[in-house]
Amino acid sequence: MNTTDILKSHDIKKTPGRIAIVKALQESELPLSENEIKTQMEEMYDRITFYRNMQVLTSAGIVHKIVIDNTLIKYGLSCDGKEHRHQNEHAHFYCEKCHSVVCLKEVRIPDYQLPSGYKLFDSDIIIKGACEKCSH
Amino acid sequence: MNTTDILKSHDIKKTPGRIAIVKALQESELPLSENEIKTQMEEMYDRITFYRNMQVLTSAGIVHKIVIDNTLIKYGLSCDGKEHRHQNEHAHFYCEKCHSVVCLKEVRIPDYQLPSGYKLFDSDIIIKGACEKCSH
DNA sequence: CTATATTTGCAACATTGTTTCACTTACAAC
DNA sequence: GTTGTAAGTGAAACAATGTTGCAAATATAG
């Protein structure tokens, strides 16, 4: 799906800032941090607008926020932004050597058995370690 | 195990700040945020010392840091601080209504099957939803 | 093209986390 | 106990991250 159609299908106005963010994520494969996105946006990046647009994009389910640690956040496209999806469907891996984050599509989120009365809205699995390139 | 023995058994000097942090966590059952611990420490709380002591306590495995979101962090005692334990053994639940965090001891961390070459150091499961009191 | 509701970008502020350095304290050796 | 020393503390200053209010700009429906 092309960048502007993703926004359109979610009833979100297509503004240059939002298009730039989604484009950066589409072109990257790996989830990106704010700084990595900023680099791609060049001079059109504005911190405040970025935060507000991320708020819009994540609550629409287009982008998911991957919180590795309080000082390290990555953003990834939610499976081509197909639909409203507030729940991650797979785990995320953080390489402590090269600091990259990858979506582990093969590690699915299980059906958790919560204590009675508890309701599940969303869940995240973060696995930390060394990726293939860095584990030698 | 009493507070000072926990520190002693990890070869960490027992200073008033550290004792106060561990005591606060021991008396609470639920994991606590920095502000909640600060309240219990009263006037002896110092922000810089707190961060440094948390660094020491978490890397010793006495306390584990539960990152719910980049702006919401809770700290919990690692199963009575029995031993060096850098890996959580259970999931954590965050109630989006009352903002409490509980350790879900019954939701164990599975053995993840990582792609070949990947090494696992640590992992976290965060489940967000509504707790028993708030889900009615 | 025009109207209007949304978005942007700036200033100012609030929170969170780190570094440096002089002073103090914990604790081991005596 | 007293003392020496390595470790911990707390203040100042800084850096990074996130939020709010408001006037100007702009995306889209009609």
pLDDT in tens, B41-79: 989 999 999 999 999 999 999 999 999 999 999 999 986
Chain C positions with any atom < 7 A from a protein CB: 6-12, 15-20, 25-27
In this prediction, residues A103-110 reach a mean pLDDT of 92
* Per-residue DSSP letter, A31: -
Q: Which residue has the least CA–C1' distance to nucleotide C19?
A: B48
Q: How many CB pairs under 8 A join A and B?
A: 104
pLDDT category at B93 given cuts 50, 70, 90 is very high
Taking an 8 Å cut-off on Cβ atoms, the answer to whether A124 and B125 are in contact is yes
Taking an 8 Å cut-off on Cβ atoms, the answer to whether A107 and B112 are in contact is yes
SS3 (DSSP) at B61: coil
In this prediction, residues A53-81 reach a mean pLDDT of 91
Residues in chain A with CB shorter than 8 Å from the CB of B51 are none
pLDDT category at A92 given cuts 50, 70, 90 is very high
Sheet of B63-69: strands edge to edge? B32-33, B72-77, B63-69
pLDDT category at B85 given cuts 50, 70, 90 is very low
Above 50 in pLDDT, residue B27? Answer: yes
The pLDDT value recorded for residue B82 is 47
The pLDDT value recorded for residue A80 is 52
Closest among B71, B73, B85 to B32, alpha carbons compared: B73
Above 50 in pLDDT, residue B97? Answer: yes
In this prediction, residues A117-127 reach a mean pLDDT of 95
The pLDDT value recorded for residue B84 is 42
Q: Which residue of A lies nearest to B116 if distances are taken between CA atoms? A: A132
Above 80 in pLDDT, residue B17? Answer: yes
Please answer whether residues A8 and A14 qualify as being in contact, where contact means their C-beta atoms are separated by less than 8 angstroms.
yes
pLDDT in tens, A8-22: 999 999 999 999 999
Two tokens, residue A110: 């299980």
Which residue in the block uniquely carries the two structure tokens 């009675």? A116
The rounded distance, in Å, linking the Cα atoms of A103 and A90 is: 7
The pLDDT value recorded for residue A79 is 67
Above 50 in pLDDT, residue A85? Answer: no
b/e for A64-100, b at 16 or more Cβ within 10 A?
bbbbbeeeebbbbbbeebeeeeeebeebbbbbeeeee
* A111 Cβ contact list (under 8 Å, min separation 6): none
Please answer whether residues B67 and B73 qualify as being in contact, where contact means their C-beta atoms are separated by less than 8 angstroms.
yes
The rounded distance, in Å, linking the Cα atoms of B6 and A119 is: 35
- Residue A96: HSE in the Cβ half-sphere, 13 Å Cα cutoff: 12
Mean of the per-residue pLDDT values for chain A? 91
SS3 (DSSP) at A136: coil
Taking an 8 Å cut-off on Cβ atoms, the answer to whether A127 and B113 are in contact is no
